[in-house]
């Protein structure tokens, strides 16, 4: 019998994870409050393997370079371990890749938006857990996906 989770369950996008783990960032407080509230309600947000790879990329990119955070490898690792401790994983599977391909073809997705499509693919594959919401600082990035509700951390 499949297990279901709290209907408040959300997948955190990488931008939220980065700002959650990096205290000096101006968005840290609002994201931390949202995550705390979700955890208190019994619905800690999910993350994917893709989130962790993107996190490492941006966290270790020089601060002067295209949105990088300029963290050391040790600081980036601490951030990843924090995510592992406070968020729940969604396992990768071949079904996620198949769903991603379906989405990018049917929705006409290209360039940088392919990353968001992969997060939506995870959400579609794991509908049994009712992960149909994504915690994001950019809700407009998800409007093309009618079955996904994008939530800004200030709305939690």
CATH number at residue 123: 3.40.50.1010
Among 101, 102, 126, 104, smallest CA distance to 113 is for: 104
pLDDT score recorded for residue 6: 55
In order along the chain (156 residues), what is the average pLDDT of each group of 10 residues? Answer: 57 96 95 95 92 96 92 97 96 94 96 92 80 91 91 94
What domain range is 66 assigned to?
10-155
Please count the structural domains in the chain: 1
Q: Cβ contacts of residue 70 below 8 Å, gap of 6+?
A: 60, 61, 62, 63, 64
In a domain, 44, yes or no: yes
In a domain, 5, yes or no: no
In a domain, 4, yes or no: no
Beta bridge partners of 10: 133
In a domain, 3, yes or no: no
pTM: 0.89
């Amino acid at each position: 019998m499949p297990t279901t989770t709290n209907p408040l369950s959300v997948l955190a996008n990488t931008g939220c994870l980065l700002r959650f783990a990096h205290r000096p960032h101006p968005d840290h407080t609002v994201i931390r409050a949202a995550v705390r509230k979700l955890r208190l309600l019994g619905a800690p947000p999910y993350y994917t393997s893709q989130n962790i790879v993107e996190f490492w990329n941006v966290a270790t990119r020089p601060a002067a370079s295209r949105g990088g955070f300029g963290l050391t490898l040790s600081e980036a690792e601490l951030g990843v371990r924090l995510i592992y401790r406070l968020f729940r994983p969604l396992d990768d599977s071949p079904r996620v890749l198949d769903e991603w391909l379906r989405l990018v073809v049917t929705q006409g997705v290209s360039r940088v938006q392919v990353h968001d499509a992969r997060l939506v693919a995870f959400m579609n594959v794991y509908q049994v857990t009712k992960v149909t919401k994504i915690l994001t600082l950019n809700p407009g990035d998800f409007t093309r996906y009618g079955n996904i509700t994008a939530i800004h951390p200030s709305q939690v």
